[in-house]
């Protein structure tokens, strides 16, 4: 029976087993059973009888009742074994007679905790909860099935077992247990004195060893014998066995068992106490004592004549010289003062030797010392010498007396000799102790008895000076002076003051003579000498201005006479600013640049002439202008005559002009000229606009260049001084306006002249507007050229030359005159009238031109952004053509920059002229940075050049800053401080450095521009041959795509996808419609066609059978769209002949597609040939765009393409074209005609040929059997074979696969076709085929026409050598004629 979790509750039985009855069964197993309140009429709630085994686990018997015992469980076994088990079962509240709960007639083993037991048979009473009986004392239980109180057995030896012990416990250390069944720890026997036991659980104790003892009962260890002695007996039970170490020894260790353990005190120490425990009891010997042997109990004293000053000494030292040592001395005692000793064995002071007379001996001396010079000593036992008194001296040693000083000398206390009086002092009598000082203004030499006066230029301000001091720089003085009070030569006195103040601050009053001035001794500011060629605005100013030559040779010296030094020095008076004191007769004004006489002007800088009548001058200028207009008109008319280019005299000039225009346009020179012209316009106004005073070697040529383009027509009428600046300004500002107006009027007149004869006539205003636009480019060019110079002339109304009239180191005060008219003083009413006129012209020119440019560019904004040019954008191309479309408005920014730098800065007052340079420097810096970031130009070299000129201008303005600072320092300080501050000694050094840096920057960036242009030129993009620049894409306003790709998916999708990708790479910006990318609604195909400029028909099989393709075709024809036909010729890709494709086309569409002359090309997949097809497509697209609609053709190229490379054969190259190879001779001669240096041989054998041409067409190896043998022989002779595969059907072209059928198998197996055969195509692809064949033959690029002529000359000499070897070699007359007559232009074309 096996039950788990069974519950027997409130069960009743009349006889045994109130809950369960089992009899004569096998094994019974109850797990987690519950017997609750079961009632039995006889015995037990659970009655088990005569079963084999019982297992009762985790069960409960609660409140069960039986009439007979037991109440809960009755058990008997039929096998009477011990296999029955009772585990974790409780019995509570069960009731039966005698309170018997369990009756086991057979063994029933309880599963008890360790240390417990339960009986396995018999009766058990009351409540039970597991095992409740402990193992008996003296026993232990280490199992769970004990059923007697002995449990596992008696306790072990050396151990004890309390009641319920699981295992025996060890007796503690210091005890032992010789018996079994010990019940408690108190039963363990303690060890007797003299014994010990260090371990627990032992049967016996151990005796103490020698060197130790155990005085107590129960010792776990013996005590070691104490330090300082020994214990020699074993098993000692008392400390009395310890014996101390004798004096002079010690024992630091415990447990010693022998006297040998006592250690002796080392030498130099002693110990008086016995039983010492450590070496610290061995005390070191005191000074004066020693211990020479170990183990001493007392140290010995040092003997007389010796000492010892150290502790722990092992011996004594000999006494020192100059000392004595008593017995037991710890140090030598010095001999008393006045005595000495050189011995080492003295024992008393009386043994020291007394010092002899005239000598001394200090305390502890080893010898006596003679008194030194300047001292003496009397008698014996002297310890110190006495010094000689004042006025006496002693030069010898050991003297007893001192000598008095001689007259003219002095002696101090302890002097060894007499001293002569120093400079600036004297002594009149002998025996003095000091000398008297000289009076101020005098001095004396060594040993003098009197003083002399100071020389001129020196002074002695204090008494007793040893010498007269030179006057402080830069002062001077008279003889016998006590102070310096005037300025020396090359200096001047700034202002009068007290001599003491001048002396105390000489550099505040004496200033260096201004540059180029003359200053003698005692010169004042008002008496400075001004040499010829210089002028100053006032005698109170220290600034001298060099008079300019104004074109003459040393004219400044002639006009500016200067002043004469000396004549006016005594009675100099200060002059007003602008004084004529320094001018030669007949000249006046600042720098003497005005003629004193009325109606006269300055000629060559030093001569005055009378002004001519104004009427004659005006007539002269009118004639000049008219002549120039006529000359320009004739030049334009002559250039327009195309037929004249063949004339003898004028033809070369016109052709040269054509070439110049070609190179000018091709090189994009407009942008470069504008950049350099702008740089020139700004760089030439440094002196006039920024008041920069630069050397003549710079301003000379810049002024000439500035005057060359200055639009000051008044200079042709009258010289500048003959006409007021206001009148000159009117002429300069209005004359270009009149010229431009005449130009515009001419354009309108020409248009109206044509309009009168036109039929029908267009609207008059529209024709007039076109006439205005015709000459708008010329007008914009004139404005571009004139506006900076005219604006500068206008703003120069505020340009004034300032001259300093205030003394140095005082607030700056200046007087200013107009630079353009020195007769007008700035700030006066006359000057105000000129500036008022200039304000009006600012509105006309600087502001007006900027507004005009900006307005025109704004009007062009929309068509330019849409790439749809119109008449206005073409007329104003001068303003935006060189710039990227994003930055089309940059010309207005450039104009604003030039106006600011050449004119607007002049609005800053002259007194703040340096601020103009600061503004210009900031503008140049910012503009250079913006240029470098934005890069607005189309050409990269233009961007580089623009940045270079901006940086060069920045360097120029920085250099001008330096020169202005340099001159300012010189003028304000009047010294050479500028050299110390800036590191430049002269103005020329700054200017030269500036020029070198500018030239270096320009050269560096120009080289960079060239390199950048060459790199850009190598990028594979479509370029115009005429300009080498990418073409400008444009599109008709309202359209979206430049090209529409019409194709059929099955045979054309891959090809048109490649066409679109390649075109977008080679022509950036092109917009191409492709259905996979752009198709949104198939129903809007017609709308897509309408929004496209050119339609591409990709002709392949099935194209004309597609409904959508036909929709595209019909829409294109109905909308009259330009068409490009691209044919797929490869049958494997869906291609066919043009006729086969036409046959597929509906008949009504064939004439409009195939007979209208639309551009046609074949689609190629090899890159070199494919680009030819793409060029054909691009040319058609460009010719339909607004920019090129008036042209009939466009030559395009791609950098690096074979057909554009000038190829020639530099080495001897002979090409053999076998007569057995039909067509080879014609192709070989075609190659030789195209490329110089190739020789063609048509002999029967190759001879000296370097290459063999194998021409492959449908007749190869078929028409002549000799060809196969010749190829075999050539391969055997290792003659290089170049194969040409003809693809033109008219010339026998076929698929390459056919050659595997016609070529002998021996050649195929030998690897004939392992090398690539060059394809030969007809039409525009022919040039590529010839170029690739030439390269295979060894042709290389020719860099110049000279190289080409060299190749031609070499090729002509080769036939002569071939003829001498009698080989059948010939070159056709056509080839010779072509090579001998080829020019550099032809080479460029190749």
CA dist., res. 52 & res. 64, Å (int) = 25
**pLDDT for residue 703:** 56
Contacts of residue 399, Cβ cutoff 8 Å, sequence gap at least 6: 358, 371, 375, 376
Residues of the chain with pLDDT under 50: 565-578, 708-714, 974-975, 1345-1346, 1348-1349, 1351-1390
Q: Note the pLDDT tens digit of each residue in 776-819.
A: 888 888 888 888 888 888 888 888 888 888 888 788 888 888 88
In contact, 923 and 900? CB cutoff 8 Å: yes
1149-1158: long-range contacts, CB 8 A cutoff, minimum separation 24: 1149/1104, 1149/1110, 1149/1113, 1149/1114, 1149/1117, 1152/1117, 1153/1097, 1153/1113, 1153/1117, 1153/1123, 1153/1125, 1156/1123, 1158/1122, 1158/1123, 1158/1124, 1158/1125
pLDDT of residue 1382: 29
Q: What is the torsion angle, in degrees rounded to the nearest 10, for the CA atoms of residue 1037, residue 1041, residue 1043 and residue 1046? A: -130
Q: Quote the pLDDT of residue 1295.
A: 84
Please give the backbone phi and psi of residue 531, each rounded to the nearest 5 degrees, phi first. Answer: -75, 170
Angle at 1194 between CA 1188 and CA 1198, to 5 degrees: 120
CB 106 within 8 A of CB 75: yes
pLDDT at 2: 93
Q: What was the pLDDT predicted at 1378?
A: 32
What is the per-residue DSSP string for 514-578?
A: PTT-B--TTEEGGG-B--TTEE-S-TT----EEPP-TTSSSHHHHHB----TTTTTTT--PPPTT
DSSP 8-state assignment for residue 247: T
Which of 488, 538, 623, 1154 shows the shortest CA–CA distance to 804?
Answer: 538
DSSP states along 342-363: --S---SGGGSEEPPTTEE--T
Q: Provide the pLDDT for residue 774.
A: 82
Residue (of 1073, 1372, 1329, 1339) closest to 1206 by Cα position: 1339
Would you state the pLDDT for residue 47?
93
For residue range 1060-1095, what is the model confidence (pLDDT) as tens digits? 999 999 898 899 999 889 988 888 999 999 999 999
Nearest alpha carbon to residue 445 among 420, 463, 470: 420
Cα distance between residue 901 and residue 678, in whole Å: 11
Compute the residue count for the chain.
1390
Q: At what angle do helices 669-683 and 696-709 cross, to 10 degrees?
A: 120
Beta strands in 671-746 (DSSP E): none
Q: Please choose, from the candidates 899, 546, 863, 494, the residue with its C-alpha nearest in 3D space to the C-alpha of residue 699.
A: 546
Query: For residues 325 and 322, what is the distance between their CA atoms, to the nearest angstrom?
Result: 11
Query: What pTM was estimated for this model as a whole?
Result: 0.50
> In the block, which residue shows the tokens 């000159």?
728
Reported as type and span, the H/E element at residue 1169 is: helix 1167-1183
Give CA 828 to chain center in angstroms.
56
Position 979 scores a pLDDT of: 55
DSSP reduced 3-state for 1121? coil
């Amino acid at each position: 029976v096996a039950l788990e979790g069974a519950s027997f509750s409130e069960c009743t039985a009349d006889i045994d087993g109130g809950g369960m009855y089992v009899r004569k069964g096998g094994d019974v197993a109850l797990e987690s059973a519950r017997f609750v309140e079961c009632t039995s009429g006889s015995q037990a709630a659970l009655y088990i009888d005569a079963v084999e085994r019982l297992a009762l686990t985790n069960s409960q018997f609660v409140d069960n009742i039986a009439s007979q015992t037991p109440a809960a469980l009755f058990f008997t076994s039929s096998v009477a074994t011990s296999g029955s088990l009772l585990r974790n079962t409780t019995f509570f509240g069960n009731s039966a007679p005698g309170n018997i709960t369990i009756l086991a007639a057979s063994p029933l083993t309880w599963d008890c905790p360790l240390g417990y037991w339960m009986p396995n048979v018999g009766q058990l009473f009351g409540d039970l909860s597991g095992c409740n009986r402990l193992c008996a004392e003296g026993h232990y239980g280490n199992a769970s099935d004990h059923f007697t109180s002995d449990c596992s057995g008696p306790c072990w030896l050396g151990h004890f077992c309390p009641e319920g012990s699981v295992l025996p416990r060890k007796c503690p250390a210091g005890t032992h247990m010789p018996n079994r069944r010990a019940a408690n720890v108190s039963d363990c026997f303690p060890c007797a004195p003299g014994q010990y036991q260090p371990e627990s659980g032992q049967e016996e104790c151990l005796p103490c060893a020698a060197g130790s003892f155990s005085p107590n009962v129960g010792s776990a260890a013996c005590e070691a014998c104490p330090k300082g002695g020994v214990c020699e007996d074993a098993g000692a039970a008392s400390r009395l066995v310890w014996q101390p170490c004798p004096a002079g020894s010690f024992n630091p260790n415990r447990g010693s068992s022998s006297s040998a353990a006592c250690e002796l005190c080392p030498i130099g120490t002693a110990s008086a106490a016995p039983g010492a425990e450590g070496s610290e009891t061995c005390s070191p010997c005191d000074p004066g004592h020693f211990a020479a042997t170990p183990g001493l109990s007392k140290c010995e004293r040092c003997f007389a004549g010796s000492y010892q000053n150290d502790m722990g000494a092992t011996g004594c030292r000999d006494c020192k010289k100059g000392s004595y040592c008593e017995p037991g001395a710890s140090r030598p005692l010095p001999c008393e003062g006045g005595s000495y000793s050189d011995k080492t064995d003295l024992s008393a002071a009386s043994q020291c030797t007394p010092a002899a007379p005239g000598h001394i001996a200090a305390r502890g001396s080893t010898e006596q010392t003679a008194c030194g010079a300047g001292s003496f000593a009397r008698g014996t036992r002297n310890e110190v010498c006495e010094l000689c008194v004042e006025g006496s001296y002693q030069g010898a040693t050991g003297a007893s007396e001192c000598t008095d000083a001689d007259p003219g000398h002095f002696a101090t206390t302890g002097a060894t000799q007499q001293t002569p009086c120093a400079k600036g002092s004297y002594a009149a009598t002998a025996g003095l102790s000091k000398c008297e000082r000289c009076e101020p203004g005098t001095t004396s030499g060594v040993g003098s008895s009197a003083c002399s006066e100071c020389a001129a230029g020196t002074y002695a301000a204090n008494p007793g000076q040893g010498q007269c001091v030179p006057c402080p720089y830069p002062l001077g003085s008279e003889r016998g002076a006590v102070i310096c009070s005037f300025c020396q030569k090359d200096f001047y006195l700034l202002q009068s003051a007290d001599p003491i103040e001048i002396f105390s601050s000489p550099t505040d009053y004496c200033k260096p003579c201004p540059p180029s001035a003359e200053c003698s001794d005692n010169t004042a500011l008002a008496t400075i000498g001004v040499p010829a060629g210089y002028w100053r605005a006032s005698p109170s100013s220290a600034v001298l201005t060099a008079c300019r030559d104004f074109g003459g040779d040393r004219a400044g010296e002639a006009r500016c006479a200067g002043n004469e030094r000396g004549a006016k020095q005594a009675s100099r008076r200060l002059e007003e600013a602008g004084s004529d004191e320094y001018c030669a007769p007949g000249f006046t004004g600042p720098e003497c640049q005005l003629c004193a006489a009325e109606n006269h002007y300055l000629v060559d800088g030093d001569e005055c002439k009378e002004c001519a009548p104004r009427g004659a001058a005006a007539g002269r200028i009118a004639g000049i202008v008219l002549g120039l207009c006529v000359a320009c008109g004739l030049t334009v008319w002559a250039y327009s005559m195309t037929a004249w280019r063949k004339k003898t005299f004028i033809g070369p000039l016109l052709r040269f002009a054509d070439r110049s225009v070609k190179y000018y346009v091709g090189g994009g020179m407009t942008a470069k000229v504008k950049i350099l012209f702008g740089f020139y316009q700004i760089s030439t106004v440094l002196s006039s606009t920024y008041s920069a005073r630069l050397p003549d070697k710079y301003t000379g040529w810049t002024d000439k260049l500035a005057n060359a383009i200055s639009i000051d027509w008044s200079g042709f009428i009258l010289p500048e001084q003959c006409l007021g600046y206001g009148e000159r300004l009117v002429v300069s500002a209005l004359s270009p306006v009149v010229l431009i107006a005449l130009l515009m009027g001419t354009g309108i007149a020409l248009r109206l002249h044509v309009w009168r004869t036109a039929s029908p006539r267009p609207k008059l205003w529209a024709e007039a507007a076109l006439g205005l636009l015709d000459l708008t480019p010329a007008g914009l060019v004139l404005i571009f050229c004139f506006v900076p110079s005219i604006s500068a002339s206008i703003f120069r109304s505020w340009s004034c030359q300032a001259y300093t009239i205030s003394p140095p180191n005082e607030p700056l005060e200046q007087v200013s005159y107009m630079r353009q008219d020195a007769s007008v003083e700035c700030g006066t009413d006359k000057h105000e009238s000129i500036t008022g006129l200039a304000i009006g012209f600012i509105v006309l020119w600087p502001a007006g031109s900027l507004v005009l440019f900006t307005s025109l560019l704004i009007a062009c904004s929309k068509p330019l952004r849409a790439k749809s040019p119109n008449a206005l954008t073409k007329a104003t191309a001068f303003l935006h053509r060189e710039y990227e479309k994003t930055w089309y408005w940059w010309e207005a920014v450039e104009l604003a920059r030039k106006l600011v730098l050449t004119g607007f800065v002049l609005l800053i007052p002259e007194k703040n002229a340096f601020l103009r340079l600061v503004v210009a420097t900031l503008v140049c810096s910012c503009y250079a940075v913006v240029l470098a970031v934005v890069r607005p130009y189309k050409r990269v070299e233009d961007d580089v050049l623009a940045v270079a000129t901006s940086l060069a201008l920045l360097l120029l303005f920085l250099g001008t800053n330096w020169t202005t600072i340099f001159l300012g320092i010189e003028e304000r300080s009047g010294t050479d401080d500028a050299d110390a501050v800036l590191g430049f000694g002269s103005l020329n050094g700054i200017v030269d450095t500036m020029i070198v840096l500018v030239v270096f920057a320009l050269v560096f960036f120009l080289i960079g521009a060239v390199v950048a242009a060459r790199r850009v030129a190598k990028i594979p993009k479509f370029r115009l041959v005429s300009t080498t620049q990418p073409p400008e894409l444009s599109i008709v306003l309202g359209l979206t795509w430049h090209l529409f790709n019409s194709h059929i998916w099955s045979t054309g999708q891959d090809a048109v996808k490649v066409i679109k990708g390649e075109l977008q790479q080679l022509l950036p910006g092109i917009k191409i419609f492709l259905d996979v990318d752009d198709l949104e609604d198939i129903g809007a195909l017609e709308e897509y066609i309408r929004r496209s400029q050119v339609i591409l028909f990709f002709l392949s099989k099935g194209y004309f059978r597609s409904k959508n393709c036909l929709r595209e075709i019909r829409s294109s024809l109905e909308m009259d769209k330009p068409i490009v036909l691209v044919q797929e010729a490869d049958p494997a890709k869906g291609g066919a002949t043009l006729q086969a494709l036409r046959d597929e086309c509906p008949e009504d569409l064939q004439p409009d597609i195939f007979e209208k002359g639309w551009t046609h090309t074949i689609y190629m997949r090899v890159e070199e040939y494919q680009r030819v097809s793409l060029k054909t497509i691009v040319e058609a697209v460009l010719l339909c765009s607004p920019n090129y609609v008036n042209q009939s053709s466009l030559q395009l190229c791609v950098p690096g393409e074979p057909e554009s490379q000038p190829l020639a054969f530099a080495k001897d190259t002979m090409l053999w074209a076998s007569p057995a190879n039909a067509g080879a001779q014609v192709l070989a001669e075609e190659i030789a005609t195209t490329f110089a240096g190739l020789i063609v041989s048509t002999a029967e054998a190759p001879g000296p040929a370097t290459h063999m041409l194998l021409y492959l067409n449908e007749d190869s190896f078929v028409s002549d059997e000799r060809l196969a043998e010749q190829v075999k022989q050539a391969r055997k002779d290792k003659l290089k074979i170049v194969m040409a595969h003809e693809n033109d059907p008219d010339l026998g072209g076929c698929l390459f696969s056919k050659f595997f059928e016609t070529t002998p198998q021996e050649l195929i197996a030998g690897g004939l076709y392992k090398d690539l055969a060059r394809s030969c195509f007809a039409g525009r692809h022919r040039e590529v085929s010839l170029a690739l064949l030439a390269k295979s033959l060894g042709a290389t690029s020719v860099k110049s026409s000279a190289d080409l002529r060299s190749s031609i000359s070499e090729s002509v000499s080769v036939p002569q050598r071939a003829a001498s070897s009698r080989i059948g070699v010939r070159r056709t007359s056509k080839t010779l004629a072509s090579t001998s007559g080829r020019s550099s232009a032809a080479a460029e074309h190749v």
